[in-house]
Amino acid sequence: MNLKGIKLTWLGHATFRMETSAGKIVIIDPWIMHNPKCPESEKKVKKVDVLLCTHGHLDHIGDAVELIKQHQPLVVGMPELCGWLQTKGAKSVSGMNKGGTQTVAGDVKVTMVHANHSSGAEDGDACNLLKPKAVVPMHFGTLPLLTGTPAELRRLVSGVEVVEMKPGETIS
């Protein structure tokens, strides 16, 4: 997988930290401090330039308000979620909807795509829809209900590289 100079660290569950080649820090779905899979060494966040929030479930925005108060990053997410985070202290927000693309942190393009969440089964169609070259499994093993594994995903997708990471691991 070619990350073109970006360092990607999985912090467990759905939380990732990206460091761009210019040193900008992007955190996706900030659930860090109370995330049981996040390594202790990663629980103190030193810098955040952009928070990408996919949706408002606690396991995806659990630390957003605290990180906003500490670092005042640009917050990107659904307009309603951005509005709510503004009431909690966010000074810089950029709402977007499905199909939208924004450039953040200088040169990182973010596109919001549709995702089925807690509502349906697609039997192997999520990767077929997007046709990625590689995927990084996440959102597994944190809670008893989340029983899927990267090995199971690997069996369901063909022609797609499945990059398995451990919490706290960085790839670049």
Record the pTM: 0.86
Full set of structural domains in the chain with CATH? 7-116+166-171 (3.60.15.10)
User: What is the pLDDT confidence band of residue 124, given thresholds at 50, 70 and 90?
Assistant: low
**Helix ranges, the chain (H):** 58-61, 64-71, 79-87, 125-130, 150-156
- What CA–CA distance (Å, rounded) separates 140 from 126? 16
- pLDDT of 2: 83
2 phi and psi angles, rounded to 5 deg: -100, 110
The pLDDT confidence band at residue 12, using thresholds 50, 70 and 90, is: very high
**Which secondary-structure segment (H or E) carries 46?**
none
The whole-number average pLDDT for the span 97-108 is 90
Q: Are 85 and 53 in contact (CB under 8 A)?
A: yes
pLDDT at 57 exceeding the cut of 80: yes
Where is pLDDT greater, at 107 or 36?
36
Give the per-residue pLDDT at 128. Answer: 73
% of the chain beyond a pLDDT of 70: 94
Banded pLDDT at 121 (limits 50, 70, 90): low
- The confidence band for 141, taking pLDDT boundaries of 50, 70 and 90, is confident
Give the distance from CA 80 to its chain's centroid: 18
Q: What confidence score (pLDDT) does residue 125 get?
A: 63
Tell me phi and psi for residue 130, to 5 degrees.
-85, -25
